Chains A and B, each alone.
Chain A
Amino acid sequence: MADLSKKDALVQYAAQIGDNGLIIGHRMSEWCFRAPTIEMEMALMNSALDLIGQARELYSYAATAQGEGKTEDDFAYLRDEQDFRNALLTEVPNGDWGDTIVRLFLMSVYNKLFFSALADSKDAELAAIGAKSLKEVTYHLRFSSEWMIRLGDGTSESHNRVQKSVDNLWVYTGELFTMTDAENLLLKDGISVDVAALKADWNQNIAQVFEQATLTVPADGWAQLGGKADGVHTEHFGYIIADMQYMQRRYPGCEW
Chain B
Amino acid sequence: MSDRQADKSIARTLPARDPLLADAAHEWKSAYIHIPFCRRRCPYCDFAIVDESAVRSDHARYAEAVLAEIEMEEGIGRLDAVNVGGGTPSLIDPAHLADMLDALERRFAFAPDVERSLEINPEDWTVERADAWVAAGFDRISIGLQSLDDEVLGDLGRMHRASIIAEVVSEARAAGFRSINVDLIFGHPGEPAASWRSTVDRVMDLDVDHVSTYALTVEAGTELGRSVSDGAPAPDDDVQAERYEHFVAAASSRGIVAYEVSNHARDGHACRYNLSTWAHGEYLGFGLAAHDHRWGIRGRNHRRMDRYVEDIDAGRRPRLGTETLDRRDQERDRLMLGLRLAAGTPMTDTAEAFVRSEAGARFVDAGVIRIEGGRLVLSNPLVADAVAREALSVSASDC
Q: Do A and B come together as binding partners?
A: no
